A = this chain, B = another copy of it.
Amino acid sequence: MILQENQAFTHQFKVDDRIYNGFISVFEDRNALHTDEVFAKNKGFQSKVMHGNILNGFLSYFIGELLPTEEVMILSQTINFKNPVYLDDVLNFEAVVTDQSEAVQVNTLSFKFINADLKTVASGKIQIKEFQ
């Protein structure tokens, strides 16, 4: 296997206007929490809350483009949303290979997205198969 147990990765993602508007334009989720400043503030948030599934799009990029091998495929994915993400937040992404199964060529990675206040905004696990 090309990935190694305990191998760690980091990357920085920014939820900028291009990503936010692009996500809305592709998936058409215009829920008030994500698009209506007043609604979001009434619910106790600082501002409109970014779609959690934007982070799943970042995971797609991480797995597809940032690993030492391109020959991988996602088998499953779990994400827990812990704190809100706002427009222009810069998120530090950390992932580590926590487990490997040589027999089926499957890696399990744990990941976190951490905001500028050092709060974990989301964490989870992702299983990927290596083709080799």
Contact = CB atoms under 8 A, between A and B. Distances in A.
B77 A23 contact: no
A29 B60 contact: yes
Contacts of A18: 26
A26 B64 contact: no
Q: Across chains A and B, which 8 residue pairs bring their CB atoms closest together, nearest first?
A: A31-B64, A22-B26, A29-B64, A53-B60, A27-B57, A56-B56, A78-B78, A29-B60
Given A27-B60, A29-B63, A56-B57, 20 more contacts: A19-B27, A22-B22, A22-B26, A26-B26, A29-B65, A31-B64, A31-B72, A32-B70, A33-B64, A33-B70, A43-B71, A52-B77, A53-B57, A53-B60, A53-B77, A57-B57, A76-B79, A76-B80, A78-B78, A78-B79
Copy total for this chain: 2
B60 A52 contact: yes
Interface in A52-89: 52-53, 56-61, 63-65, 70-81
